Chain A
Amino acid sequence: NYFNTQDGALKATNAIYEKLRGWNTTAWGPIGLVDVASDDANKGSTSTDSNDMIELNNATYLTNNGTIEGYYKEHYQAINRCNQVIVNVPEANFDKNEKDRYIAEAKCLRAFFYFNLVRAYGGVPIIDRLLQPEEYKQARASRDETYDFIIQDLEEAALVLPTKSGYGSADLGRVTQGTAYALLAKVHLFRASFNGDATEYGKALTAAEKVVNSGEYTLYPNFADIFKLSGENSSESIFEVQTHDFEQGGGSSQYSEIQGIRSNSLNRGWGFNIPSKSLRDEFEANDPRYDATIITAGQTLYDGEVVPRPADDVFGDNSDPISEFYSYKVYAPSHNGGNGNSPMNIRLIRYSDILLIAAEAANAQGNTTKALNYLNMVRARARGNLNVLPDVVGADQVVVREAIWHERRVELAMEQHRYFDLMRMDNVVPGYAKTKLSENTDNKFDASKNKVYPIPQSEINAVGSDLLEQNPNY
């Protein structure tokens, strides 16, 4: 049996990571569902390109939106790869520590995939085993049950997984104990927004501080450098999808290509996911992160490339309105293999994210001092040695929360956090999301419906609407 040998078990574990480079798991799916759908970004590309994205941008999607369907489907395929390891490897006969680690990796990754699902769709069917044909139809679990399942996986994984420094260097890119705790902190913070339960905030803070106190992570000194090839797996990298531009292919993601500068040369991107005016306006004056996040047409990039302006007419025709703005965080300089073979890692969780979670959780518990301490660590790194971004002071809990939310937005902009965060914030302050999204006048966001995406119609067709109930108002 394949999974009985260490070789097979390791390959099966590795296969889960391969799915992290998937089109729907980390590229097109979250770019659409988490960035384009939010107030941070506009759809981009040509005006007619991708009806799915237009629908996400304007919250007019129906239950058959292909991107919403793909996100659901590929996450379950990834979960199946986790289950192959979690179910089959315990029976295997090889070194127990190695075996336990593979299983823990699979559980941590399974929790990551379920966390995306529960945020996108609410409670979903929990599949923790390999299904036989007669078991194919499974009912939805509640949101709480789904969160319980995720938390259990993460807690079990955190006990077994090595720390970042505890892995051999060749294993760089695997999930670590830090990844598990970081996810746990995020999970509790999201869960708290639904029930307002102070103990959830406490658990979020505890998990976040396990990361802080582990000594494994520090803020990378130069914010802009994090998003260059040299900044891959930086000191603040907690969970990062590894990609590489092998000449024969097989190691890349289309993550950068989808969002890349739309032009004849440069990285020949498709030009989706354009930083919105709302996002650009969110930055404080002279925040160095503005220039690290946003490319402006006509600008010369760090590798010397000049970004064409719409007026430059680089296609020799007027068919492709080139945007004035792009995300700098995904810019992949010249690389092997052209289109679609980008070597740019995908930074899923950075240390600053966890500091801001710690800040938000502490503030929610009334510990404003602690909250400001974590918040100002992030601001201090952002300002570097410039005389900008002063420390936030003051003690009003609501004001501090607003400051933290503002900081999250500019610190993590265009990194596929925003829509989920926005829905979370809307739980805390009802009406918040509608206000933010209304800058896009075409946006039809309706909080009674769009706070979660519809379960794909094809899935309801396949399982039956009695077991798999559609989300309200779709």
Chain B
Amino acid sequence: QDTVKGTIKSTTGEEVIGASVVIKGTTTGTITDYLGNFSLSGVKSADVLVVSSIGYIPTELTVQDPTAPLSIVLEEDIDQLEEVVVVGYGVMKKSDLTGSVGSIKSEDVDKIPASNPMQAMQGKVSGVQITSSSTPGGSPKVQIRGVGTTGDSNPLYVVDGMLLDDISFLSSNDVASMEVLKDASATAIYGSRGANGVVIITTKQGKVGTAKVSFSSYAGIQQMAARPDMVTGQQYAMLQNEVLHNQGSDLLYTKDQIANMGKGTDWIDEATRNAAIQNYQVGISGGSDKVMYNITAGYFNQEGIVKGSAYDRFNFRINNTYNLSKKVKVGHNISFSTYNSINEGVDLGDAYKADPTMLVYDENGYFGSSINNDIGNPMASSYYKNDVSEGNRLVGNVFLDYKIIEGLTFKTNVGFDHSTNDGKAYTPIYFVSGKQFSDISTLRVSGNKFNTLLWENTLSYLKEWGKHRINGVVGITTQNNFSEGWNGSENDVPNSSNMWYLGTGSADSRNVTQWANTNSYLSFLGRLNYSYNNKYLATATFRSDGSSRFGESNKFGLFPSLALGWRVSEEEFLQTSELISNLKLRASWGRIGNDKIGDYSQYSLIENNLNPVFGPDQSLSQGGTVTTMANSNLKWETVEQYDIGLEIGFWEDKLTIDGDYYYKHTKDMLVYISPPSLVGSAGAVPSNIGEVLNSGIDLNVTWNDNIGEDIHYTIGANISTINNEVLALDPNNPYIYSGDLGNGQNATLTTPGESIGSFYGYETAGVFQNQEQLTNTPHLAGSVPGDMIYVDVNNDGVINEKDKKVIGSPIPDFIYGVNLAASYKNFDLSVLLQGQVGNEIYNAKKAVRWGTTNFETSYLSRWTSEGTSNSEPRVTNGGVNYEVSDRFLENGSYLKLGNVTLGYSLSERITERIFVDKLRVYGSVSNIYLYQPYKSYSSEITANSPLAAGIDFNTYPLTATYTLGLNINF
């Protein structure tokens, strides 16, 4: 009998603390200390040791030589892995969590064929609204728990500890997990940047063991999932004649011409195609107890379904960890990506507007032109367009962990993000028609680079005694962002791509400008998590941020939060319940900030190059002055958020329900307000004005079961309600008009009592059928029978601005998702349904008519004489029928099949023979609309500003994707 000594580590090389080591069949055992070490006496040769720890798969090993030290590796238990959740500046047991955190795992992320991993979150996590973008390489719009600001409402991304605004560089295959921090208890640790929610992304790490090679790929076809219906050439000619008739002009087409017109050109068909998408990733990972590595390389290529657009990206990643000693560990996660984007796509706006009687090519093979439509030939524009951009991005971090004493760890982490982008666009001299030509050639080039350096130092402490457990962290961080760029243009550059550099054309026409921006932060942070008897939980956090973006008096902001939790199921009265396996109540409060406003907003800037001409020889003199007003009192936007949560599990967690009610109150909202014209400001002025309330319920229900031995399945459903209301704005003028349609009209209004960016215009009440009705009804000047009837809301007998009202909202009442995952023997199936309900879309492409352009088929049901239509007015190219009104408001609800994947894995019998660990093939279908009342390219309208969301000019069409994929592990 001897004393056996040993160390227990995880596959990631972490010492496993508190693991139990027991001699099988006895009660003799011990637990590991904080360095993972144990010593157990009374062990004989051939005894079997049982090693176990929560979250790991128990393992047994037979002692050969009791005097030799043991080195044992425990593998994480996949089923129990979700017990651990990544939170800001640390990891927490899910059971200890007091905040609201949603998460998805790698296998859900790489299922979705998209360049940006966030697309995979659509319909999966409650409280997160993802609006797809199908642009090649495009990023979806992400909104967490409503819209709390009229400014930038994008969340903060934290990739392996690096704080980022954009993750377009990241391959879905590299993602190990994504956690969404939703409530203040979870986000307040990110202080001034947490108000829009935080997405923490952890990339895959190497594990102790022999080298494993993995290869995954998919390839497929994308198709336009939906499109607007346009009239045929013949119908166009007829409607055109009617427009001319209605304005008292001579008709353009004779009856015979119309009769022989035929279908004409479908420009949307011409502009689009079935396009390829493909993705390949190869990785090698493994490690010893000293070094763990994961090295991957990937390639993603997406052709645009709009002809002339494409995107590809190579990405490389090296995530290594080195255990230098028992106390010191260093590591790095470094990613490099390079992309290439071709932006020569056919202008969808032109394709929508173009004359269907125009030919793509005329009988001589030249580009066709239109006789009465100011929109040129869309295919010709694309043909003469040369526009490419490319860039490189290096993102990563290098860290050092030092275990000072038991439970106390110091970590220093340096993160960096460096990117460069270049763009080049060239327009040659060309002639298509008298309206579509360029008589000079122009080269435009641009370049920029962004540099961010983050340095974080944290001290974390973990201690258990008796029934108490504390887990705390304090830290100090600094971040510096610098960016600069330049733009240049030059005329008369030869039409040959190897000449497309400044200096090859006319020197006199050369124009080069440069710009630069910088900002920095200094922050202090801390969190204390306390658990008593695994039953009562409390978390307090604070962060103090200083930002160069704000004036001296408002530089620092303090962001605290407090949360309590009660694990009711740990109480004795529920311990024995067969029905309820888990029950936890949580409540949190906190204050978080948002600083997403441009650098230098508090200063008056001199705008240069306002140069007049003087003198007999007419030369330029230098001019420059303040053109945009500044606001020196600018400060943080703050959000106060309350959250009450319930987690409940039934029948050993076969059924789990987890729900939150949240109440988010934004104050001192950062708003760029366009001051009254009389102020004379050329640009909008940043201000802290207004309050917004977002409240709602996030609910997830999951059912997890087996049918017989072979069928395992999970059905999950989630729903998130959004109630958005502006509580206050500038009391003197509580109206923010936005949604500029480009023709002098605004389609949205933000005002107290309504949701942000509500659609605002006239309510329609049919079409004037005859002169008598017109005479007896209030109407806009210039109305004639056949024009829209607008409702005289204030009953004053005239129709004017005062009769406009809120007619809809771009914010849905709720969003939902339904997931099914099932496996049967070697088959696996997953289905995702996703949708939203209760929002409207403003069909701006129809509502803005610049003159003679094509018509949607809805025009065919127009009014032509009394009794013909009471919804679609007579055809005109402008005038009273094109006022902002509910005529152009469409139902934005939709339900789509987000993804269906069916996979088949070869059985072990076969894989063993061909020396692979795993081989899986699958087929997948994404983005098929099942229900979409809005007849257009997409019901998912991405917008930059929440003030002007849901306005559809010509959104890039949603693409339905059909792919076949392969995963192999060696």
Contact = CB atoms under 8 A, between A and B. Distances in A.
Interface stretch (A131-139, A142-150, A152-160, A289-297): A131-139
Contacts of A63: 800-801
B616 A247 contact: no
Contacts of A459: 676-678
Nearest to B781: A60
Given A11-B622, A15-B610, A463 B680 contact: no
B771 interface: no
Nearest to B249: A47
A458 B733 contact: no
A76 B851 contact: no
Interface stretch (B73-81, B148-156, B502-510, B547-555): B502-510
Q: Name the residue in B244, B606, B615, B743 with the highest tally of chain A Cβ atoms < 10 Å from its Cβ.
A: B615
Interface string A296-313: 000000000000000000
B624 A11 contact: yes
Interface of A: 2, 8, 11-21, 46-49, 51-52, 60, 62-66, 69, 72-73, 76-81, 83-85, 124-125, 127, 130-131, 133, 136-138, 169-174, 233, 242-244, 246-251, 264, 314-320, 337-339, 343, 444, 456-464, 468, 474
B623 A11 contact: yes
A81 B434 contact: no
B574 interface: no
B412 interface: no
A440 to B, nearest CB: 14
Contacts of A461: 733, 735, 737, 801
B371 interface: yes
B518 to A, nearest CB: 20
Contacts of B746: 458
Contacts of B623: 11-15, 17-18
B611 A76 contact: no
A461 to B, nearest CB: 6
Nearest to B626: A84
Interface string B423-462: 0000000000111000110000000000000000000000
B753 interface: no
Nearest to B735: A461
B745 A83 contact: no
B780 interface: yes
B679 A64 contact: no
A124 B677 CA distance: 12
B177 interface: no
Given A14-B621, A79-B680, 15 more contacts: A2-B606, A2-B624, A11-B623, A12-B624, A13-B623, A15-B623, A60-B782, A77-B677, A85-B625, A247-B508, A251-B613, A251-B620, A315-B433, A319-B371, A463-B733
B611 A137 contact: no
Interface string B680-694: 111001010000000
B877 A48 contact: yes
Contacts of A264: 434
Contacts of A127: 678-680
B733 A172 contact: no
Nearest to A12: B625
A67 to B, nearest CB: 8
Q: Name the residue in A15, A83, A246 with the highest tally of chain B Cβ atoms < 10 Å from its Cβ.
A: A15
Contacts of A78: 680
B625 A456 contact: no
Contacts of B879: 51
Contacts of B613: 173, 242-244, 251
A133 B602 CA distance: 12
Nearest to A252: B613
Nearest to B439: A338
A317 B371 contact: yes
A18 B509 contact: no
Nearest to B606: A2
A231 B88 CA distance: 72
B924 interface: no
Given A133-B687, A171-B615, A248-B509, A15 B733 contact: no
A247 B511 CA distance: 10
Nearest to A253: B613
Interface string B614-654: 11101111111111010101000000000000000000000
Interface in B498-552: 506, 508-511
B597 to A, nearest CB: 15
Contacts of B627: 15, 77, 80-81
A457 B735 CA distance: 13
Contacts of A138: 676, 678
Contacts of A464: 732-733
Interface string B740-760: 000111100000000000000
B610 A315 contact: no
Contact of A244 (B440, B491, B618): B618
B370 interface: yes
Given A69-B744, A248-B509, A461-B735, A319 B676 contact: no
B480 interface: no
Given A170-B614, A242-B613, A247-B506, A125 B678 contact: yes
A242 B614 contact: yes
Interface string B589-617: 00000000000000000110111111110
Contact of A463 (B676, B685, B737): B676
Contact of B435 (A8, A170, A251, A315): A315
A316 B620 contact: no
Nearest to A458: B737
Q: Name the residue in A2, A48, A264, A460 with the highest tally of chain B Cβ atoms < 10 Å from its Cβ.
A: A48
A169 B249 contact: no
Contacts of B685: 133
Contacts of A73: 677
B247 interface: yes
Contacts of A8: 606, 624
B614 A171 contact: yes
B622 A131 contact: no
Q: Name the residue in A16, A444, A458 with the highest tally of chain B Cβ atoms < 10 Å from its Cβ.
A: A458
Given A264-B434, A319-B372, A463-B678, A250 B620 contact: yes
A136 B614 CA distance: 34
Contacts of B606: 2, 8
A17 B371 contact: no
A243 to B, nearest CB: 6
Interface in B658-702: 674-682, 685, 687
Contacts of A76: 677-680
A79 B506 CA distance: 37
A136 B679 contact: yes
Interface string B237-259: 00000001001010010000000
Contact of B615 (A21, A169, A444): A169
B217 to A, nearest CB: 49
8 contacts: A17-B623, A76-B680, A171-B615, A173-B614, A249-B511, A251-B618, A463-B733, A464-B732
A319 to B, nearest CB: 5
Contact of A133 (B370, B631, B743): B631
Nearest to A174: B614
A131 B435 contact: no
A137 B676 contact: yes
A304 B252 CA distance: 34
Contacts of A337: 440, 491, 509
Given A14-B621, A63-B801, A136 B675 contact: yes
A208 to B, nearest CB: 26
Nearest to A460: B801
A78 B631 CA distance: 20
Interface string B370-392: 11111000000000000000000
B138 interface: no
Contacts of B616: 169, 172, 233
Given A127-B678, A138-B678, A462-B676, A48 B878 contact: yes
Nearest to B742: A66
A223 to B, nearest CB: 22
